[in-house]
Structure 1
Amino acid sequence: MTTLGPGAAVLAFDVGGTDMKAALVDETGVLRDTVRVPTPLANGETGDRVVAEVAALAEQFAKRHPDVHPAAAGLLVPGHVDDVHGIGVFAENLGWHDYPFRERAEAALGLPVGFGHDVRGSGEAEHRLGAARGFDDVVVVTIGTGIAAALFIGGKLYTGGGLGGEIGHDRVAEGPMCACGGRGCLEAVSSAAAIARRYSLRTGQEVAGAKEVLERKRRGDANAAASWNSALDALALGLSHVVALLAPQAIVIAGGLSEAGEELLQPLRERLDGILTFHRRPQLIKATIGGDAGLYGAALTARDVLNGDDA
Structure 2
Amino acid sequence: MSSFVVALDVGGTSMKGGLVGRTGEILHIDRRATPRDRGPVAVIGEIRSFIDDLAARGGGTPEGVGLAVPGLVAADAALYSANIGWRDVPAADFVPLDVPVMLGHDVRTGGLAESVLGAGRGVSDFLFLPIGTGIAGAVIVNGEPYGGAAGWGGEIGHIPVFPQGEPCACGQTGCLETYASASAVARRYAARLAAGTDTAEAEATTAAGISAEARAGVTLPETLSGGAASAGVVPGTGTTVAGAAVASAAPAGAAAVTAERIAALTAAGDPVAREVWDDAVEALSLALATYTLLLDPSVIVLGGGLAEAGPLLSDPLTERLRGRLSFRDAPPLRHAALGVNAGMLGAALLGWRAAGFADAGVAWSVDVPKSRV
Give me the TM-score of the superposition, normalised by structure 1: 0.89
In the TM superposition, 1:46-65 aligns within 5 A as 46=40, 48-65=41-58
Aligned partners of 1:196 and 1:207 also within 8 Å = no
- In structure 2, what is the Cα distance between the partners aligned to 1:306 and 1:260? 38
**Per-residue deviation at 1:176?**
2.1
1:301 and 2:296 correspond: no
Q: Contact 1:249–1:280 (CA<8 Å) still a contact in 2?
A: no
Cα distance, 1:216 vs structure 2: 1.4
Partners of 2:320 and 2:280 in 1: how far apart? 11
Residue of structure 2 equivalent to 1:79: 71
1:60-110 deviation digits (Å, cap 9, x = unpaired): 2344442x54111111111222x24x33333223222x331413124x232
Match of 1:70 in 2: 62
Residues 258/159 of structure 1: CA separation in 2 closer, same or farther (3 Å cut): same
Which stretch shows the higher mean deviation, 178-187 or 123-132? Answer: 178-187
The answer to whether structure 1 residue 162 and structure 2 residue 151 are counterparts is: yes
C-alpha separation between the residues in 2 aligned to 1:155 and 1:62? 30
- 1:26 CA displacement: 2.9
1:186 is aligned to: 176
1:259 aligns to 2:254 (yes or no): no
Q: Which residue of 1 aligns with 2:197?
A: none
2:185 aligned to which of 180, 191, 195: 195
Range moving further from structure 2, 253-262 or 114-123:
253-262
Distance 1:189 1:295 in 2: 28
Which residue of the partner structure matches residue 4 of structure 1? none
- Cα distance in 2 for residues equivalent to 1:270 and 1:214: 18
2:320 paired residue among 253, 258, 271: 271
Query: Which residue identity does 2:17 align to in structure 1?
Result: A
Deviation (angstroms), 1:36: 1.6
What SS does the corresponding residue of 2:136 show, helix, strand or coil?
strand
Aligned to 1:137: 125
Shift, 1:253, TM fit: 0.5
Q: Is the 8 A contact 1:243 1:280 kept in 2?
A: no
Judge which range, 191-200 or 208-217, deviates more.
Answer: 208-217
* In 1, Cα distance between equivalents of 2:354 and 2:305: 29
Indicate the SS of the match to 1:281.
coil
Do structure 1's residue 286 and structure 2's residue 335 form an aligned pair?
Answer: yes
Superposed CA offset, 1:25-83 (max 9, x none): 2344222221222211146x31x3232112212332344442x54111111111222x2
**Equivalent residue letter for 2:131:** I
In the alignment, which residue of structure 1 is the partner of 2:34? 39
Alignment match, 2:82: 92
Question: 1:111-122 maps to which residues of 2 (within 5 A)?
Answer: 111-122=99-110
Segments of 5+ residues of structure 1 without an aligned counterpart are 1-6
Report which structure shows greater RCO (CA 8 Å, sep ≥6).
2
Tell me what 1:232 maps to. Answer: 281
- Of 118-127 and 179-188, deviating more is 179-188
Taking only the aligned residue pairs, the percentage that are identical comes to 41
Runs of 4+ in 1 over 6 A off after TM superposition: none
Distance 2:29 2:92 in 1: 24
Count of residue pairs brought into register by the alignment: 297
Q: Distance in 2 between matches of 1:308 and 1:158?
A: 20
- Taking a change above 3 Å as real, the CA distance of residues 91 and 273 of structure 1, as seen in their structure-2 partners, is same
Q: Distance in 2 between matches of 1:103 and 1:59?
A: 13
Match of 1:20 among 15, 21, 27: 15
Letter in 1 for 2:29: T
Rate the CA distance shift 1:184–1:232 in 2: closer, same or farther, 3 A. Answer: same
Whether the aligned pair in 2 keeps the contact of 1:243 and 1:279 (CA below 8 Å) is: no
Which position in structure 1 is the counterpart of 2:241?
Answer: none
Q: 1:308 deviation in Å?
A: 6.3
Q: Provide structure 2 residue ranges, at least 5 long, that are not aligned to the other structure.
A: 194-249, 360-373
Higher Rg: 2
Q: Is the CA contact (8 Å cut-off) linking 2:167 and 2:174 kept in structure 1?
A: yes
Q: Which deviates the most, 16-25 or 111-120?
A: 16-25
For residues 293 and 28 of structure 1, the distance between their equivalents in structure 2, rounded to whole angstroms, comes to 17
